[in-house]
Amino acid sequence: MSSSILIISGSASTVTTLKGTLAGMGNIAVFHHFSDTFDTIYNETPLMMIVDVFEEKETIPLLNSFKGDPLFTGVPVLAIVDDSHIPVNWEGIHADDYVRRPLIEADIVMKVQLGILRAHRVVEVNPLTRLPGNIAINRQIQNRIDSRKPFAMAYADLDNFKPFNDKYGFSRGDDVLKITGRLILNIVKGKCVQDSFVGHIGGDDFIFITDPSSMEDVCRDMIDAFDHIIPTFYDPADREAGFIQSHDREGHIKTFPFVSITIGVVKTTGIPFSHYGEVTEIASEMKGYAKKTAGSCYRINRRSYNPREEMESRQTRNG
């Protein structure tokens, strides 16, 4: 159903007009009642919905409930309204656009095209860092795979972040996440202005994409900047000591070093990827190898499906 346009209308003439006019724009699925759509839309999200909003009293409440679900808020909804001069209270209808019934044949194709394009431009963002989230991240990776243009993708997260949060509280932890996102964004855009991307998966996990030739410089600069700024988030006594005491996952008091950043990188040059999950899997495995080394570091795959072969490690601490 991902390429489907859902039409929800009990008007046979309206449905016939819509199906004829939209032929070739996607799979058309027709439902007479909004309540009949839920099994379909929960199975797979539609491309767009066209809804006869004033046909039944239950339609608007069901539509508003649908659009209020974070899973479906990005699905464009085009409302069909009658050609009357009665004002429509659009604040109470969670539609993205509308078309008047007598103008369906003239306007519907343009309205559907604009609605779909607008939805694709909407970027889901992380509320803390304001960086694009998972939907945008996956789309960015897949678009690059489909274009066949080589790129490098890095998967970064923070080590010893939980003990830091436990000791200093979530507010200071959020400050660390915000500055990490800002550092990554500034460094990536400074090194690779065109066709780069930075996203926030959630928590202390970040993604950034550059051209293959820029990635190592970005990683080195990111580690240098992060290691330089992170001590400022610690209290003076802890900063002087170079560590903190906090609880481990079993609740025992333990000594922890400062928060560090670990980066796993995959370069797609010479590798025939077909799905974004393949790229993120290798980047995640590279990050796992990097975590075996103390301190901030990164590891990169080298043109191989086997990430244990032809990889390079760079460590910025202890030589």
Write out pLDDT tens, residues 37-79: 888 887 777 889 999 998 888 999 999 988 887 667 778 999 9
Give the start-end residues of each E strand in 43-121: 48-52, 77-81, 97-100
The CATH superfamily holding the domain 4-121 is: Response regulator (3.40.50.2300)
- Chain segment 152-201, per-residue pLDDT in tens: 999 999 999 999 999 999 999 999 999 999 999 999 999 988 889 999 99
Helix (H/G/I), strand (E/B), else coil: 249: coil
What's the pLDDT score for residue 45? 79
Residue 79 · residue 95 · CB < 8 Å: yes
What is the C-alpha separation between 7 and 2, in angstroms, rounded? 14
Could you tell me which residues come within 8 angstroms of residue 78 by beta carbon, excluding any fewer than 6 positions away? 48, 49, 50, 51, 95, 96, 97, 98, 99, 108, 111, 112, 115
What is the C-alpha separation between 289 and 267, in angstroms, rounded? 16
Class of domain 134-315: alpha beta
Residue 158 tokens, joined: 């923070």
pLDDT exceeds 50 at position 134? yes
Give the mean pLDDT of 221-248.
94
Domain limits, the chain:
4-121, 134-315
Helix spans in 192-261 (H)? 215-229, 236-241
pTM of the entire predicted model: 0.65
What's the pLDDT score for residue 4? 86
What share of the chain in percent tops pLDDT 70?
Answer: 91
What is the C-alpha separation between 117 and 137, in angstroms, rounded? 18
β-strands 48-52, 4-8 pairing: parallel
